Structure 1
Amino acid sequence: MFSTLQRDLRFASGLFRTLRRVKGIHPGSPRRICDDLDAAAARWPDREALRFEGRSLTYAGMEALANRFARWALEIGLRPGDRVALFLPNRIEYLPAWYGLSKVGVVSALINNQLTGQALAHCLSLSGAHEVIVDGETSPALQDILGDLDHTPRLWSLDAPLPGEGDLAAALAERPPEPPPASVREGLTAGDTALLIYTSGTTGLPKAARVTHVRVQLYMRGFAGSTGARSDDRIYVALPLYHATGGLCGMGAALLNGACVVLKRRFSATQFWEDIRREGCTQFVYIGELCRYLANQPPHPDERSHRLRLAFGNGLRPDVWDSVTGRFGVPRVLEFYGSTEGNVSFFNFDGRPGAIGRIPAFLRRRFNGRIVRFDYEAEAPLRGPDGFCQEVAPGEAGECLGRIDSSDPRADFTGYLDKAASEKKVLRDVFAPGDAWFRTGDLLRQDEDGYVFFVDRVGDTFRWKGENVSTAEVALRLQAVPGVVEANVYGVEVPRADGRAGMAALVTGEGFDLGILAARIAADLPEYARPAFIRLQPEMEVTGTFKQRKVELVAEGFDPAKVAGPLFHRAADGGYRPLDTVAHEGIVSGQIRI
């Protein structure tokens, strides 16, 4: 265990490394993220930058490919501010594509390559892109929805093109690898939009966040500093590149330090340790559920035969943290908190298990984040008698807010393409008349030592029997029960009942027993937090960044006509009984009490 002084020193050291790398970033600066990557290519031209499925690009090769994308964009008539949609899986051309387009001021809309149908049409229409880059894997899904778009874009394929698609691979090969003319960049600044990155859409259609060069620099430079990566590091990235954690944090940690990115098309729990050992990886970037999948796997012969010295990412729950550092022997975990569009970020530099970050007392005034008391009925911050918000006491949960300050790049909020959606995220007159704060939508708590812990998402926490139920904390308890592989907890409406009753969707494995589950629930959870309904399913539906989806589960509720698979309700004796149409009618009519 670290002493308070040791914790403070380690935190200050990590913070200093991070702040040193982001120093000088400003919206009015002519230096953009493409210039940072150009500088890396000039410094380490012959080092391996990207490795993917047997292919490799040096830093010089990466920049040359980016230049070909830039020249292609100019020659088809694109100008600064125009948008190109990247509808691609992870592949070696992904970062060079948006890197090259940014050289000539073209904005890349990073589309989730798993989308189909309405959601895909929505994201493409929202982007306003008239050019879409696809490959053999994504092209069929796009062809299916062309008729649903509000305009017909031109399609360019990096693989063998289908009829009506341009041959982008051939077009790039014909372009010179030298940088585009310097005159193209006149007037462009770091405050210009570089990327559109979409929210995950766990509760509805995704929103497009406007990500400026400044924000990309904060991500990439910040993680180049916070991870302490070196030029001899090999960083494993299996997260999707359309999302900031893998596509910016992971890439920045490597590429702004002369290190190599070992890129995977997609995450595989069964191949992970073999990849890590074979490629000699020294760091990997995670989303919490990625590590849970690893922890749920049987022992692998390579899970301790590795050179890993750091895992960094967000969403690592305490029960899985011990597997990463203990079972897998990864020396250090760097957990952080933030969002694509948000202006609040925390780092857990000293590795306190379960904490998403820390705000030491001696640095509190330097942080723009505050946790305020929350009204669970109104799902909004609570106002005091004077009309202003109040900060929570240590140990009390509340919503995290970020002070908006356009003069400070780290505290600015650039918002979404949808101005109305942006305004909904801004809370005004919080602590003083006229101030403005970003609503993170996350419920957090902070302890006496300044460590910050995630509690739940606003909207996921629900009230039952007059108490607030944290879905994340209930899920954590359920996942500790033998045989429970994954748990997704949410509230469902029950006729004639106040609030929402708890329901849990479970993925189970060897050793699962419904009686043991009921006994553990009775022992570990207060009455109001015990799930009224349980459903079993073979796998959990998640987004491309492994976030559990709830919206469909909430809509299906506890109706056996809608729920596929075993369904149970909690009886008066605390046990769980099968929920069939007769029991459902009894609950709906009030004859069976929940």
Structure 2
Amino acid sequence: MSAMKTALLGLPVLWLLRRIFFPYLWKDLHFFYRAARYTKYVEDSLKRIPPFLMLDMFYHQVSVRPEKPFIFYHDETHTYKDIDLKSNQLAWALKKYSNLEQGDCVAVFLGNEPAFIWTWLGLAKIGCPMACLNYNIRAKSFLHCFRASRAKVLIAGPELKDAVEEVLPILTEEGVQVYYLSRESPTGGVESLLDKVEAASDQPVPASYRSEVTGESPALYIYTSGTTGLPKAAIISQARLLISSSLSTLSGVTTDDVMYIPLPLYHSAGLMIGVRGCIQQGASIVLRKKFSVSHFWDDCRRYNVTVFQYIGELFRYLCNTPKKDNDKDHCVRLALGNGLRTDVWKEFQERFGNISVFEFYAATEGNAVFFNYIGKVGSIGRSNFLLKLSRPYHLIKYDVEKEEPIRNNSGHCMDAAKGETGLLVAKITEKAEFIGYAGDQSQTEKKKLKDVFQKGDLYFNSGDLLMEDKEGFVYFQDRVGDTFRWKGENVATTEVADVVGMSDFIEEANVYGVVVPFHEGRIGMVSVKLKEGQHFDGEKLYTKVIEYLPNYARPHFVRIQDDIEVTGTFKQRKVDLVKDGFSPLIIRDPLYVLDEKEKTYKPMDLNTYNTILDRKAKL
């Protein structure tokens, strides 16, 4: 009896000790159990003969909920059955009019619209992977992306006619079939496709047309900017596509949800996590041609949205709108995404209601993932022994100046201490694979880090600097290399420098990103050295960047320097430039700022600087 008494008296002590030393233990165990179950489901699906892939899950949803709305798009409503039939028509039309064979890639150059999704599904039905071209790319970048995927066919939106015509002679010379997704074509050498789709049969497409597709087969090519200066085509296998819906599933998305996807479908977040996640659950999707901050909440109310995807910048846009009495009048219960700053996170929830925020960390091509299932404001996720056991990763000491990991006398990397910023590297294993990029194999090899902790081991170099606190919460700190992020897009500095250097008065350009208070990411800035005897011409530079660069990649500030500082290996130094920012109070060199109204780069003065700090200037 006394032993029983002692045990009972000890329970509160054990409870207190757990609260003190392991406050998140049960939540960690519960989340890991759910994640393990989903992983097991994916593994079992891939072992089936034939394997049960994304398209099979879509077929399942069509069979159990054919009349359920799948896509809401402005005034249109498309059911699961509607999209199934339309994708059948697309498949039959391509089989009849194109030279496509199973395994051939098709590049899609479309905006956010239902056609993007039924085209994707139609291609899957005939065993063709899809290259998702960013509709902002032009000329050199367009050709680079298209060629990397080795696509045989291009399907483009008619509104992108100018971009297509710019590269059409080269595509024609290379034997590419080009279609506009329209009923007629205004361009010689480009065929219309929508009329052919509408005239095609909507009968089921035989499984034999995709009989060679396995879990290892390419499903998508998603483009991500990197240190090469041009986008890289990350290879997304059918297996990776299957598991990509884990983020939506683990965040709590269900069949009853309506998910608003304001992110571009050519990104992995919008397509693989958003659309793919909704297919997994049989949920509904809301699309809009272009994100509109002024229509966001009206759309949420109109379609009874319960979940929306985000990047951190989206929250800031919403918080910067004038306050309204109906700010909390909506059905949204969950927001799923990444890149959300702590201050904006708090402000958003105070203003728009207690919406659960599920922040995560993942990379399109990477093999590391973090989930903030606790809801810790500002964190990208949790680090614990269970996660490390299933997907080994480390935060290692990193020399930002030299842009390389710090190694000890034995030549091995060292773990960063708790509270210290380190480079995220993840071990490449059978369960945590890194497939790499299509095209130049050297780009794939550059992302691999060898002999990290012992000779012969192999890790994926994320290129991201993270920090883990004493409680195990992980925080994003910065990116390394020649890439920074602005308005939710990765900007490759070398690509921007190439465009800036096209101006005949500039000898050398060093591009980097600088922090702007109250804004997510870093905005573009360029330090330039002028050619001898030349003067800075703001109008000429403005014309170049507008013509060749998308909005998010255009450098907003220009700094004129007598010399561009380089390292001993002739790499341009950026660290001190980034620290200086764009303040005329710190920088003594001439400064210029982009002025879209005057269509030039005008001299930067203290008044303009203060306008930006006061959030009165549009960036």
Q: TM-score range by the shorter chain?
A: 0.7 to 0.9
Q: Per-residue deviation at 1:261?
A: 0.1
Residue 332 (str. 1) matches residue 369 (str. 2): no
Distance 1:429 1:568 in 2: 50
- 1:199 and 1:104 map into 2 onto residues whose CA distance is 26
Q: Which residue of 2 aligns with 1:346?
A: 370
The equivalent residue for 1:424 is: 446
- 1:257 alignment counterpart: 281
SS in 2 for 1:10: helix
Q: Aligned-pair distance for 1:189? A: 0.6
Residue of structure 1 equivalent to 2:89: 68
1:9 aligns with 2:31: no
Question: Match of 1:84?
Answer: 106
Number of residue pairs matched by the alignment: 514
Determine the structure 1 residue equivalent to 2:523: 488
Matches within 5 A, 1:140-151: 140-149=162-171, 151=174
The 3 A distance-change label for structure 1 pair 112 and 489 is closer
- Say if 1:326 and 1:200 are closer, same or farther in 2 by CA, change over 3 A: farther
CA distance in structure 2 between the aligned counterparts of 1:326 and 1:299, rounded to whole angstroms: 12
Q: Distance in 1 between matches of 2:581 and 2:102?
A: 49
Distance 2:390 2:333 in 1: 30
1:48-447 to 2 correspondences below 5 Å = 48-75=69-96, 76-149=98-171, 151-160=174-183, 161-163=185-187, 164-200=189-225, 204-220=229-245, 222-361=246-385, 363-405=387-429, 407-408=430-431, 410-447=432-469
The one-letter amino acid of 2:602's match is G
CA contact under 8 A between 2:226 and 2:483: conserved in structure 1? Answer: no
Separation in 1, partners of 2:581, 2:327: 26
Percent of aligned positions with the same letter in both sequences? 33
After superposition, the Cα gap between the structure-2 partners of 1:412 and 1:118, relative to the gap in structure 1 and judged at 3 Å, is closer
1:465: which partner in 2? none
Q: 1:379 to 1:278 in 2, by over 3 A?
A: same
The 1:249/1:485 distance shift into structure 2, 3 A limit, reads closer
Change (3 A) 1:377 1:505: closer
Tell me if the contact between 2:127 and 2:212 (Cα under 8 Å) persists in the aligned partners. Answer: no
- TM-score, normalised to structure 2, is 0.76
Q: What's 2:60 paired with? A: 39
Question: Residue 565 of structure 1: SS of its match in structure 2?
Answer: strand
Q: Does 1:564 align with 2:601?
A: yes
Is this contact kept in 2: 1:506–1:536, CA < 8 A? no
In 2, distance between residues paired with 1:67 and 1:99?
8
Q: Distance in 1 between matches of 2:138 and 2:564?
A: 38
Q: Return closer, same or farther for 1:506/1:257 CA change in 2, 3 Å cut-off.
A: farther
Q: Deviations over 1:162-200 (max 9, x none)?
A: 243333222222322232222223232111001111114
* Distance of 2:86 and 2:161 partners within structure 1: 22
Q: CA deviation at 1:241?
A: 0.3
Which of 31, 39, 42 matches 1:25?
42
Show the counterpart of 1:502.
577
CA distance in structure 2 between the aligned counterparts of 1:326 and 1:394, rounded to whole angstroms: 31
Q: Check whether the contact 1:372–1:391 (CA below 8 A) recurs between aligned residues.
A: yes
The CA distance in 2 between the partners of 1:253 and 1:439, in whole Å, is 27
Superposed displacement of residue 496, structure 1 = 8.4
Contact 1:485 / 1:506 at 8 angstroms: preserved in 2?
no
> In 2 relative to 1, CA 216–199 (structure 1 residues): closer, same or farther, beyond 3 Å?
same
Deviates more, 1:323-332 or 1:234-243: 323-332
For residues 355 and 371 of structure 1, what CA distance do their matches in structure 2 show?
15
2:491: which partner in 1?
Answer: none
Q: 1:506 to 1:41 in 2, by over 3 A?
A: farther
**For the residues of structure 2 that align with 1:4 and 1:312, how far apart are their CA atoms?**
29
CA deviation digits over 1:241-280, x for unaligned, max 9?
0001111111133221121101111211111111112211
With over 3 angstroms needed to count, the CA separation of the structure-2 counterparts of 1:366 and 1:564, relative to structure 1, is: same
Question: How far does the alpha carbon of each residue in 1:436-479 deviate from its partner, in whole angstroms, 9 at most, with x for none?
Answer: 111111011111111111111113699xxxxxxxx99x73xx51
Preserved CA contact (<8 Å) 2:62 2:81: yes
Deviates more, 1:301-310 or 1:191-200: 301-310
CA distance in 2: counterparts of 1:486 and 1:186, whole angstroms: 44
What residue in structure 2 maps to residue 468 of structure 1? none
Q: Give the secondary-structure state (helix, strand or coil) at the position aligned to 2:127.
A: coil
Give me the whole-angstrom Cα distance separating, in 2, the residues matched to 1:496 and 1:186.
56
TM-aligned CA deviation for residue 349 of structure 1:
0.7
After superposition, give the CA deviation of every residue in 1:23-43 in whole Å (9 maximum; x if it has no partner): 243566522221121112222
RMSD: 3.2
Which piece of structure 1 moves more, 148-157 or 19-28?
19-28
- Cα gap change, 1:461 to 1:147, in 2 (>3 Å): closer
Q: Deviations over 1:537-562 (max 9, x none)?
A: 4689xxxxxxxxxxxxxxxxxxxxx9
- Residue 400 of structure 1 contacts residue 440 of structure 1 at CA under 8 Å; is this kept in 2? yes
Partner of 1:454: 476
Q: Deviations over 1:465-507 (max 9, x none)?
A: xxxxxx99x73xx515xxx898637685864868543358999
Q: 1:103 to 1:5 in 2, by over 3 A?
A: farther
Give distance in 1, aligned partners of 2:100 and 2:215. 19
Q: Is the 8 A contact 2:365 2:434 kept in 1?
A: no
Corresponding position of 1:521: none
Q: Give the gaps of 5 or more residues in structure 1.
A: 463-470, 508-513, 519-529, 541-561, 570-574, 577-594
**Which segment is superposed worse, 393-402 or 172-181?**
172-181
1:393/1:47 CA distance change after superposition, 3 Å: same
